[in-house]
């Protein structure tokens, strides 16, 4: 059986992973429209010129790779220090996100849809029911924008680019 149907076994394993999101797969389906941004974040925007500012991007890279946050795993009840790279990976061609469900910033399909306000909101408040921590108390607003400017280069072949895409979803909570 195992030898005859390796593909069947593999697909069954894959399907069972999809069926049990508690195993850590994304809580938010990548094909669904993005969650609307809470009103309090609707006016948060990338400072002018920062998407392509090399100095800002270099500082963002440093934050991404070195800053860590102590937070508690819900189920394991243990405190861990994690940085962006611990979960989202270091930017290299073969380095997939390290934690299951952590978004892949190299995916322009996804990243081109995020408004700057959405991006800031998710970084600041984290994503409930997932391991994405809230960084709002650890990083200043400026630091959050820097790290976003850096992350944005991932979906543009690691080059600075203006975040100006027709796919951007600008929905705000009513």
Q: Residues in contact with ligand HEC, total (CB under 6 A)? A: 25
Q: What is the smallest separation between the CB atom of 145 and ligand HEC, expressed in angstroms?
A: 11
Q: Does 146 bind ligand HEC (CB under 6 A)?
A: no
Q: Does 41 bind ligand HEC (CB under 6 A)?
A: no
Residues in 44-73 that interact with ligand HEC by CB under 6 A: none
Looking up tokens 């299951």, which residue turns up?
Answer: 100
19-27 long-range contacts, CB within 8 A, separation 24+: 23/100, 24/99, 24/100, 24/101, 24/131, 25/100, 25/101, 26/101, 26/103, 26/130, 27/101, 27/127, 27/129, 27/130
Q: Judged by CB, which is closer to ligand HEC: 3, or 112?
A: 112
Which of 53, 82, 125, 169 is in the footprint of ligand HEC by CB under 6 A? Answer: 82
Which of 44, 61, 103, 163 is in the footprint of ligand HEC by CB under 6 A? Answer: 103
Q: Does 28 bind ligand HEC (CB under 6 A)?
A: yes
Q: Does 132 bind ligand HEC (CB under 6 A)?
A: yes
On whether the CB atoms of residues 96 and 104 are closer than 8 A, the answer is: yes
Structure tokens at 66: 């070195």
Nearest Cα to Cα of residue 55 among 154, 161, 155, 150? 150
Binding site for ligand HEC (CB under 6 A): 26-28, 82-84, 86-88, 99, 101-103, 110, 114, 119, 122-123, 127, 130-133, 135, 147
């Amino acid at each position: 059986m195992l030898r005859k149907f390796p593909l069947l076994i593999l697909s069954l394993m894959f399907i069972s992973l999809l069926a049990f999101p508690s195993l850590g797969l994304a809580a938010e389906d990548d094909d669904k429209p993005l969650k609307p941004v809470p009103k309090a974040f609707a006016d948060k925007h990338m400072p002018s010129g920062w998407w392509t500012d090399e100095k800002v991007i270099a500082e963002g890279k440093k934050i991404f790779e070195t800053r860590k946050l102590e937070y508690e795993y819900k189920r394991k009840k243990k405190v861990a220090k994690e940085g962006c790279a611990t979960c989202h990976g270091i930017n290299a061609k073969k380095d997939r996100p390290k934690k299951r469900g952590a978004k892949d910033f190299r995916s322009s399909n996804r990243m081109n849809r995020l408004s700057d306000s959405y991006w800031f909101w998710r970084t600041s408040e984290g994503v409930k029911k997932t391991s994405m921590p809230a960084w709002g108390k650890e990083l200043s607003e400026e630091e959050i924008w820097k790290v976003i400017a850096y992350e944005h280069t991932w979906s543009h072949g690691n080059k600075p680019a203006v975040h100006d895409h027709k796919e951007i979803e600008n929905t705000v909570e009513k």
